[in-house]
Amino acid sequence: MNYEETLSGQVALVTGASRGIGLAVARRLGRMGAQISICARNQANLEEARSSLRDTGVEVLASPTDVTREDQVSAVVRKTQEALGPIDILVNNAGIGVFGPFHQQGEAQWDAVVDTNLKSVFLMSRAVAPEMIRRKTGHIINISSLAGRNTFANGAIYCASKWGLLGLSGCMAEDLRGHGIRVSAICPGSVNTEFSLLAGKDPSKMLQPADVAHAVAALVTQAPGSFISEVQMRPAQKP
């Protein structure tokens, strides 16, 4: 399907968009005609992402943001609305991982992962919901993981955050569907990004950031009478 310009006039906010999946999603939605707002914690990486997007013809608003802080979440939503207009699409992509036996992890590691992967989605979605409800339209897409459906050694904190994210996504969908707002979760397997645990894996056989961006494009171009609540993605060959 040709998605070019299908999002003309819409505004998309993508978190964790300075690299990897978030950057690929921002690029894809921008090529589809959306006005793009991106945020991430690292200002230098964010500036590189903005330049990269502009080089491909995508104009973008970039805002350094810690999505675990309510004040900064409110600020980036307000800045996006003032500069670009009401937010039609929110992609909650920001995420981190800390891995190792659960009994060797500290409270600081728990807080960092759960706040970034789960709390931030609650804060950001809550910030955009009132305007979406008022307008009776909107898409919220949460980038989860197959780790939200499976368990593995050394993944306790990360899996807990992603299992929680799927529970949050499902409840958000039920709370918002009556207002014309669609909430979906995408659960990729191993994606070839800086985040991935690459040891022993063939990067060429892993999912690529553009694969996840394609799934986002499909979700935001659904017919109005339905929504896909969850997408599970795996590479065609095991890496």
Q: Where are the domains of the chain?
A: 11-233
pTM of the predicted model, to two decimals?
0.95
φ, ψ dihedrals at 37, nearest 5°: -120, 130
**Comparison of pLDDT for 213 and 4, the residue scoring more:** 213
If 0-12 CB within 10 Å is exposed, 13-18 middle and 19+ buried, where does residue 238 land? exposed
pLDDT, position 200: 62
Question: What residues contact 103, with CB distance under 8 A and at least 6 apart?
Answer: none
Question: What residues contact 110, with CB distance under 8 A and at least 6 apart?
Answer: 157
Please tell me the least confidently modeled range out of 36-40, 205-209, 213-217.
205-209
Rounded percentage of the chain residues whose pLDDT exceeds 70: 96
**What digits encode the pLDDT tens for the residues 139-191?**
999 999 999 999 999 999 999 999 999 999 999 999 999 999 999 999 999 89
Average pLDDT, the chain: 95
Given the residues 27, 127, 138, 158, select the one marked as catalytic. 158
| Distance, CA of 116 to CA of 61 (rounded, Å) | 22
Q: Is it the case that residue 5 has pLDDT exceeding 90?
A: no
pLDDT, position 220: 97
pLDDT, position 71: 98
Any alpha helices (H) in 56-177, and if so which ranges? 70-83, 107-114, 120-135, 156-176
pLDDT, position 11: 98
How many other C-beta atoms can be found within 10 angstroms of the C-beta atom of residue 93? 28
| Distance, CA of 202 to CA of 196 (rounded, Å) | 12
How many other C-beta atoms can be found within 10 angstroms of the C-beta atom of residue 29? 26
**What digits encode the pLDDT tens for the residues 111-121?**
999 999 999 99
pLDDT, position 193: 85
Rounded percentage of the chain residues whose pLDDT exceeds 90: 89
DSSP structural state of residue 146:
G
How many other C-beta atoms can be found within 10 angstroms of the C-beta atom of residue 49? 24
Do the beta carbons of residue 137 and residue 88 sit within 8 Å?
yes
Any alpha helices (H) in the chain, and if so which ranges? 20-31, 43-55, 70-83, 107-114, 120-135, 156-176, 209-219
| Distance, CA of 94 to CA of 86 (rounded, Å) | 21
Place 194 in a pLDDT band, splitting at 50, 70 and 90. confident
First to last CA, the chain: 28
pLDDT, position 202: 86
Q: Is it the case that residue 205 has pLDDT exceeding 90?
A: no
Q: Does domain 11-233 have CATH number 2.40.50.140?
A: no
pLDDT, position 2: 54
Of 108, 110, 126, nearest to 164 by C-alpha is 110
158 is catalytic: yes
Q: Is it the case that residue 94 has pLDDT exceeding 60?
A: yes
What is the mean pLDDT of the segment spanning 65-88? 98
